[in-house]
Amino acid sequence: MNRLLIVPAGCCLVAFAALFASLQRTRAESPVAARSPSQPATVSAPSSSTASLLTQAEAEKVLVDLKDNVLRSRRAWEESPRRLMSRARIQPKSTEPSSTEYTLSVSQPGEHQWLGTILVRSGPQTQTYPCVIDKVTKKVALFGGQWKSAEAWLEGEIAPIR
Amino acid sequence: MLYFTKLPFAWVWTLATVLASAVILWNTAIYFEGGARPHFLLEKGIWAKQAWWLATFYFHLVGACLCLAAGTPLMFEAWTQKHPRWHRALGYIYINTVLWMAAPSGLVLAFTAKGGGWGTAGFALAGVLWWQTTWTGYQAIRRRDLPTHIRAMVRSFALALSAPAFRVIQIGLFWLGVADEANYILSLWFSIVVSLLLSESYLLRSGRSTFPSFTVTYPASGANP
């Protein structure tokens, strides 16, 4: 291989490294993106110390945040630009206005969990997801065929595009 | 465009190909505009949040755009014969963007492609063939082997055209009511087949095929497509 190819190959390698470093830096600066999807979701309740148990009000706040995130995910899909000749889906899945609700069970099965449900409506379809909030760790797990962390659930189960 | 030489309505096919390539170039603008995340990146889910994947994706995007833009004029034989310097300059850009940007990044992206194993296999095959034909074309011109250079570059650019072919086929199958997932895989494989047919049929028609029964009948010197 001669210089005619080695020089551009080297330039491409440097350009790729620079692009990767720049994206990595951007990602590191964004707290949401920096969290690995495989990490369990920990939702911090407002003004609660880690030593204390999650109160009912704090658990409700957790569920409100979660249902807002569902709508945010739907809205991102509805607002995302697409053009006809792209590799994206030609016919997007339903983009009908979505709504979400939550319920929190007052009666508790044990000392360490709150039980609740997140209800997602999209057009005529309604789906209910049971969820468990750990009072100590404040981790949320949702059931949609199998138990998932809130982030994994938002990523896989609820995204309207897969 | 040389692929449609001696075909009925050659200018219509040429115009359609150039337009489809132009639309692809225009479409890529949405990835650089900022604002809301484009559909394709949303579909990629978790991958589109990884820095290495995004870097590879953008690298592929830029490389593919450059090689489509640089390669299209080279497929007009009369133009390249008239402008040998442009041929060399654009050819240099084309070869380098394919070898170091579009094809390797496409090969990496193949492993996260939609369509499961069939999707990965299709994109990987296209990437390997694209790289190999371009490399063969470069090596051939270095040793001034014009027939091999022409054959390889005709095949290479036909594989580059599998991108617009993919989209056109995808829209066609969508109109025929084929479900999304099946549509994606069928469009991918059909676009590879169409690209191979496009190049091989031209090489056969022009007598430049590698098949022994066809004789090479073009001048051995001067500019080439």
Sequence spans of domains, chain B: 49-205
- The answer to whether the predicted template modeling score (pTM) of the entire model surpasses 0.80 is no
Pair A55, A30 in one domain:
no
pLDDT value, residue A94? 56
Q: pLDDT for B67-92, tens place per residue?
A: 999 999 999 989 999 999 999 999 99
The pLDDT-based confidence of A157 (bands split at 50, 70, 90) is low
Position A51 scores a pLDDT of 58
Q: Does B215 have pLDDT greater than 50?
A: no
**Out of A45-49, A87-91, B17-21, B173-177, least confident range:** A45-49
Nearest to A115 by CA among A100, A127, A128, A133: A133
Count of structural domains within chain A: 2
- Output the pLDDT for position A112: 80
Positions of E strands within chain A: 98-104, 113-122, 125-134, 140-143, 147-149
What is the DSSP code string of B82-104? Answer: H-HHHHHHHHHHHHHHIIIIIHH
Would you state the pLDDT for residue A159?
Answer: 61
| Cβ–Cβ pairs < 8 A, chains A and B | 107
The ipTM is 0.83
Lowest mean pLDDT among A78-82, A89-93, B96-100: A89-93
Which member of A12, A80, A90 has the closest CB to residue B170? A90
Give B2: exposed, middle or buried? Use CB within 10 Å, 0-12, 13-18, 19+.
Answer: buried
Q: What is the mean pLDDT of chain A?
A: 76
Give the HSE-up count for residue B134: Cα atoms under 13 Å, Cβ half-sphere. Answer: 28
B178 touches chain A (CB under 8 A): no
Contact in structure between B200 and B209 (CB atoms under 8 Å): yes
Q: What is the mean pLDDT of residues B106-125?
A: 93
pLDDT the model gives residue A92: 57
Phi-psi region of B144 (alpha: psi -120 to 50; beta: other; left: phi over 0): left
Same domain membership, residue A111 and residue A124: yes
How far apart CA A76 and CA A97 sit, in angstroms, is: 12
Beta-carbon contacts of B213 under 8 Å, excluding residues fewer than 6 positions away, are: none
Reduced to 3 states (helix: H, G, I; strand: E, B; else coil), residue A135 is: coil
Which pLDDT band, with edges at 50, 70 and 90, does B222 fall under? Answer: very low
Q: What is the pLDDT of residue A66?
A: 86
Residue A24 or A76, more confident: A24
- A129 and A98 housed in the same domain: yes
Give the rounded percent of residues in chain B with a pLDDT score beyond 70: 93
Tell whether the model's pLDDT for residue A44 goes beyond 70. no
pLDDT at A135: 84
Shared-domain flag, residues A25 and A56:
no
C-alpha dihedral over B162, B166, B169, B174, to 10 degrees? 180
- Tell me, what's the pLDDT at A89? 66
Range of the domain at A16: 1-34
**Does the pLDDT of residue B139 top 60, yes or no?**
yes
**B101: chain A residues, CB-CB within 8 Å:** 12
- Grade residue A47 by pLDDT with cuts at 50, 70 and 90: very low
Q: Which residues of A touch B171 (CB under 8 A)?
A: 84-85, 90
Q: Retrieve residue B54's tokens.
A: 């995004």
With 60 as the cut, is the pLDDT of residue A49 above it? no
Query: Closest partner residue to B45 among A16, A91, A162, by Cβ?
Result: A162
Within an 8 Å CB–CB cutoff, is residue B222 touching chain A? no
Contact B130, B160 (CB under 8 A): yes
Is A81 in the same domain as A124?
A: yes
- Res A1: pLDDT: 63
Question: In which band, very low, low, confident or very high, does the pLDDT at A120 lie, cut at 50, 70 and 90?
Answer: confident
